[in-house]
Structure 1
Amino acid sequence: MTWTLPMAGSADRAAVATALRQGLTAHAVGQGLSRARCEDLVLAVHEGVANAVEHGGGFGRLRLWRADRLLCCEISDHGAGIPARHQEQTSMPGRTGVRGRGLWLMARLSDMLTLSTGPAGTTVVVVIRLTSDLHL
């Protein structure tokens, strides 16, 4: 399943985001993901989409697929890439800032997060296991 994210030119961004979340939820539940883990997936993907829209020129692409017992969601954009200092995912960003938590949060909500970034754009893949309801 693939969605194009033309958020920058959309008259009603909230409606587009709502439709995306509803479509993602329906597909994930249909693939056997529990409701609790579906909430984690939707929040992680929402963070990725928000980053793609903000830093990727308002456009991007979201692909969702099942690979064995894994549900994979790829968010990609054609922005300038993520600076190395913002690619750290292992520790919580400083408590005084209001930004910079997207990748960290995505990593915490998923079972695996991969990041590929450079001057031609960024691709993030959020992976959630379908076999476990454990929150890692």
Structure 2
Amino acid sequence: MTGFLNGDRRPLLACQFGHAELPRLRHAVATQAARAGLTGMRWDDFVLAVHEAAVNAVDHGGGAGELRLWRSGTMLCCQISDDGPGAVPGRLNGAALPRLNGIGGRGLWLIRQLSDEVTFTSGTDGTMLSIAFRLPG
């Protein structure tokens, strides 16, 4: 882990969101990712990973979340947090592909597959997910 939570944390984007804001949030994240220098599949992957995390915050974290997006050196970082009841222990692993006949869990797996760095913290006061992607150049 390169410590992507350190460094310049001035946000490129900072907002609260609920279900109704998800399409606008996705567009704003896409715009900022392009401005930061992500292109092609890396741009797609970043937008998808952040969107999956935002949907999880809304669906499992009390209906709303907060997003912060910033650049830290050669990384584009995004932190999504919610005030929900916290995740079931072991649920945030996401390291193994969930069973095909299982319900849920693919979003976390997908986030882990797409991102260069991921951290999760969860407790009774909510869940925080941090994602980082290396920028080109």
Q: Same fold (TM over 0.5)?
A: yes
Q: What is the 5 A alignment of 1:83-94?
A: 83-94=88-99
Contact 1:29-1:35 at 8 Å conserved across structures: no
RMSD over aligned Cα, in angstroms? 1.2
TM-score (norm 2): 0.86
Question: Corresponding residue for 1:6?
Answer: 18
Contact 1:3-1:62 at 8 Å conserved across structures: yes
Could you tell me which of 125, 128, 131 is aligned with 2:130? 125
| Letter paired with 2:60 | H
Could you tell me which of 90, 109, 116 is aligned with 2:114? 109
TM-score (norm 1): 0.86
CA-CA distance at 1:22 after TM superposition: 1.1
Identical counterparts, % of pairs = 41
How many residues align? The count is 125
Contact 2:62-2:85 at 8 Å conserved across structures: no
Contact 2:94-2:105 at 8 Å conserved across structures: no
Instruction: Give unpaired runs (5+ residues) of structure 1.
Output: 8-12
Instruction: Give unpaired runs (5+ residues) of structure 2.
Output: 1-12
| Letter paired with 1:106 | I
Structure 1 segments, 4+ long, off by >2 Å, are: none
CA-CA distance at 1:6 after TM superposition: 2.9
Could you tell me which of 73, 77, 80 is aligned with 1:72? 77
